[in-house]
Amino acid sequence: MTPEEIRIKDKDIHAFLEVFSAEGGSASGGEGPLSGKTIAIKDNILFEGHKASAGSKILEGFVAPYDSTVVKKLKDAGALIVGRTNMDEFAMGSSTESSAYGVTKNPHDLERVAGGTSGGSAAAVAAGMVPFAIGSDTGGSIRQPAAFCGVVGLKPTYGRVSRNGLIAYVSSFDQIGPIAKTVSEVETIYNIIKGQDPLDSTTITDDTYLIAKKFNKTIGVPREFVESEGVSDEVKENFEKAVEKFKSLGYSIKEIDLPSLKYALAVYYIIMPAEASSNLARFDGVKYGMHMDGENSIDDYFRTRGAGFGREVRRRIILGTYVLSSGYYDEYYGKAVQARNLITTELRNLFTEVDLMLTPTTPSPAWKIGDKSNSPLEMYLEDIYTVPANITGCPSISVPSGQVGNLPLGILLTADLGREDNLFVAGKEFLGA
């Protein structure tokens, strides 16, 4: 679609915070594998000369002073970056309802959420406004909206894609990845954006993780985890169909037991606010973005941060401050780090026996806008299947697995560190594309 066509189509959906004018776009025109293709980027990824607000009022007016590495690579590949997509404020949420700039609607049902936090990116692809979009995934933020919108979303291995120019949220979880309609297209974008970067010292090389195990078409299903409390019957039914489909494709399915997985969500909701409270200390109304004037210097901070951050962001920063405070540190953060290491060890052991782990992507299909706004904990429980990949760093892909009525559902494949190749093989066979 042209920028003008996207603007018209987006009136109902609100996937974009800004569609760049043809002249103001990347104007790449370069030759490369993406020549002539359009792509949208999430609002927390810097594109020089364009606004980047991370869905927050506190960054109102902020203009990116440099290109993120991902944007540079996309431009070099010839892609035309057409706009920045809506997201939950600072990537905190599961529905884009915490965006300071309004909610993105699900293209399959405009009364429902598109998921989050990369809800704008997933909706833009699902509605056909762009063939590809870039998101970021801290606890499921690429994969969950991809499932809700019926498209494919990949969170690569931690460190696979440079985060130089990504507005940091949880530095030990954050990872950038692609969203598209097919696994092959996701793989194409992944190959363009991945790679070691001197500007992000957490990036890995192709040799960081030894590829010792040959792909053997074996999938592990953590039965107890899949049937966690609160998972809807439609999801369970859809999941069983997916399991049967993999069997018919010649995969062997192993029932597995990973006892530590039940702690994954609790671990996530301790480490995440802890790191967020530290990363978001930089928004102070002094260096960039919004400034609210107070009586003195410190009062400026209180006013700016009180007014500039939305409710969910305030909640998570304060929660993070609590779990890191002396007296509670060992009890929460210390324990969470231990449990995280245990989950990583258990999951990596599993991958010596199976190639992939299979679960649903979400415990329910997309909910109605506003339905979960009053209960943060209920919203947090939506992340149950997606957080293990962030805690362990493992790559993980959500692939459409059919619909309940008009609402899409997804299945989630997770592989050992460095084994995106296994996700692509199984994902393509499952989807047939």
Rounded distance, CA 315 to CA 302, Å?
15
| Torsion sign over Cα 196, 200, 201, 202 | negative
Q: Which stretch binds other proteins (CB under 8 A): 39-47, 305-313, 353-361, 396-404?
A: 305-313
- Conformation bin of residue 102: beta by default, left when phi > 0, alpha when psi is -120 to 50: left
Q: What is the 8-class DSSP label of residue 231?
A: -
Residue 329 as a binder of other proteins (CB under 8 A): the answer is no
CA distances 197 to 73, 136, 162, 163, Å, are 11, 17, 6, 9
| 285 versus 395: smaller Cβ distance to other proteins | 285
Residue 409 as a binder of other proteins (CB under 8 A): the answer is no
DSSP string covering 90-105, please?
GG-SSSSTT-TT-PPE
**Which uninterrupted H or E stretch holds 424?**
helix 420-431
Name residues contacting other proteins, limited to 99-158 (CB under 8 A).
Answer: 158
Among 39, 192, 258, 339, binds other proteins (CB under 8 A): 339
Among 243, 342, 404, 431, binds other proteins (CB under 8 A): 342
Q: Which stretch binds other proteins (CB under 8 A): 175-183, 316-324, 355-363, 365-373?
A: 316-324
Rounded distance, CA 347 to CA 392, Å?
8
Rounded distance, CA 284 to CA 361, Å?
36
Residue 212 as a binder of other proteins (CB under 8 A): the answer is no
Residue 224 as a binder of other proteins (CB under 8 A): the answer is no
Give the total of residues touching other proteins (CB under 8 A): 65
Name residues contacting other proteins, limited to 45-84 (CB under 8 A).
Answer: 62-63, 65-66
Among 51, 57, 245, 348, binds other proteins (CB under 8 A): 348
Residue type, 398: S
Name the 3-class secondary structure at 297.
helix
| 214 versus 287: smaller Cβ distance to other proteins | 287
Q: Which residues make Cβ contacts (< 8 Å) with residue 30, sequence separation at least 6?
A: 75, 76, 77, 78
Q: Which stretch binds other proteins (CB under 8 A): 183-191, 211-219, 221-229, 321-329?
A: 321-329
Among 171, 288, 404, 429, binds other proteins (CB under 8 A): 288
Place of tokens 């592990």: 220
Nearest-approach distance from CB 433 to other proteins, in angstroms:
33
| 247 versus 282: smaller Cβ distance to other proteins | 282
Radius of gyration for the chain, computed over Cα atoms and rounded to the nearest angstrom: 20
Contact of 316 with 277, CB cutoff 8 Å: yes
| 249 versus 318: smaller Cβ distance to other proteins | 318
Residue 213 as a binder of other proteins (CB under 8 A): the answer is no
Name residues contacting other proteins, limited to 153-182 (CB under 8 A).
Answer: 158-159
Q: Which residues make Cβ contacts (< 8 Å) with residue 379, sequence separation at least 6?
A: 93, 94, 95, 372, 373
Residue 307 as a binder of other proteins (CB under 8 A): the answer is yes
Among 248, 298, 326, 327, binds other proteins (CB under 8 A): 298
Q: Which residues contact other proteins (rule: CB under 8 A)? A: 62-63, 65-66, 158-159, 198, 201-202, 204, 208-209, 260, 262-263, 265-267, 269-270, 277, 281, 284-291, 296-298, 300-303, 305-307, 309, 311, 314-315, 317-319, 321-322, 325, 331-332, 335-336, 338-339, 341-342, 344-345, 348, 376-377, 380, 417
